[in-house]
Amino acid sequence: MTSDIDTLVGASRLPAVGTTIFTVMSALAARTGAINLGQGFPDFDCDPALVDAVAAAMRAGHNQYPPMTGVPALRQAVSDKIALTTGRRYDADSEITITAGATQGILSTVLALVHPGDDVVVLEPCYDSYGPSITLAGGNTIRVPLTPGTWRPDFDALAKALTPRTRLVIVNTPHNPSGTVWTADEMARFAALLAPTRALVLSDEVYEHMVFDGVAHASVSAIPELAERSVVVSSFGKTFHVTGWKVGYVAAPAALMREFRKVHQFNVFTVNAPMQHGIAAFLADPSHWQSLAPFYQARRDRFRAGLAATPLTLLPCEGTYFQCVDYSALSDKSDLAFCEWLATEVGVAAIPMSAFYDQAPDMRVIRFCFAKKEATLDEALRRLRALKA
């Protein structure tokens, strides 16, 4: 006797979750031949020296399990980098763990720190893994909107959302999807707001080295009272144009890191050994990440200059490799419908801003990724110039 498979599966742990919009739009781009400016990955290669460093690590025999916490040389390199950029020195042995990408770091942090019934505050729009991670941990997602249009933190709204039940606040700067970058004053205000609370912080800083126009990245690590209650997550995939490698890191005070590692060891246990060794060698030269901001600013400026010749309205882009535009002069379609039309009829794929909300407000905003070859951006702009208001 067999049972219906749905009966065997029972209630879903994530009943509201389907296939991510990034997968959907990338598939649509492939099917229609559209230029994929939707999903956030480069279409150019990484530095050949990084590939050589990984190959050298393989030839040197670094092909078995590395330590659960990460290769010591890479953890030390991360500690050195954070000390150089923020002034805070994390202990390489007890306060840094190498992860299978930033998304695993986010999930493991939430599972380690959030208990059933805890409140977790997220600032919308936000990366779409936050909500499901909180749900899997049994927490309650408390959504606080960023200021529409500018996407800056609304500290009055945030203050109202904080209660004795608040276990964790998730922040993200430079911000995906909007490209907004928190200022040092905003980070200091955030620290003052949390000071009388028991809330912990998960700081998603995967675009930390993509900040433009001479502005410095404001990390929670730079403010001691924030750093003491924060887990910082970042990504080598984003920094070194190797998103498919899925290698990132988490930095946190030792007490928080002990809890993180309890989950990490039973989640992925450890991360690709030769890539860790290769990245450690590559990080020895700080210019490899210090050159990232001017590299992407040149692409941002090229893309924005081209978009200025279209009916799309440019929104600010202070960091990341994402450019948001308002298309309300062109269409009354929903942002999802407009993205589907844009890919099918114009040949350029984008991501609707509504994908980053639980209940999206009425807006006409989409997100492009400009982490592309200049030729790719130029061809996308050529197609977009066909748009008529």
Q: How many angstroms separate the CA atoms of 320 and 41, rounded?
A: 12
Distance of CA 4 to the CA centre of its chain: 39
C-beta atoms surrounding 12 within 10 Å? 9
How many Cα atoms occupy the beta-carbon half-sphere of 151 within 13 Å? 27
pTM across the whole model:
0.95
Fold of 5-46+290-384: Aspartate Aminotransferase, domain 1 (3.90.1150)
Q: Residue 218: what are its φ and ψ, rounded to 5°?
A: -95, 100
Burial class from Cβ neighbours inside 10 Å (0-12, 13-18, 19+) for residue 385 reads: middle
Residue-range domain boundaries for the chain:
5-46+290-384, 48-288
Q: How many angstroms separate the CA atoms of 351 and 179, rounded?
A: 14
Which pLDDT tens digits describe the chain residue by residue (389 residues)? 446 777 777 888 998 888 888 888 899 999 999 999 998 889 999 999 999 999 999 999 999 999 999 999 999 999 999 999 999 999 999 999 999 999 999 999 999 999 999 999 999 999 999 999 999 999 999 999 999 889 999 999 999 999 999 999 999 999 999 999 999 999 999 999 999 999 999 999 999 999 999 999 999 999 999 999 999 999 999 999 999 999 999 999 999 999 999 999 999 999 999 999 999 999 999 999 999 999 999 999 999 999 999 999 999 999 999 999 999 999 999 999 999 999 999 999 999 999 999 998 889 999 999 999 999 999 999 999 999 87
Beta bridge partners of 348: 35
**Mind listing the pLDDT tens digit for each residue in 275-334?**
999 999 999 999 999 999 999 999 999 999 999 999 999 999 999 999 999 999 999 999
Best CA proximity match to 69, nearest among 271, 252, 275: 271
Helix (H) or strand (E) holding 161: helix 155-161
Beta bridge partners of 120: 141, 168
Q: How confident is the model at residue 1, as a pLDDT?
A: 42
Q: How many angstroms separate the CA atoms of 162 and 160, rounded?
A: 6
DSSP-derived pairing of the beta strands 35-36 and 348-349 = parallel
**Mind listing the pLDDT tens digit for each residue in 129-176?**
999 999 999 999 999 999 988 999 999 999 999 999 999 999 999 999
- Judge: domain 48-288, CATH 3.40.640.10: yes
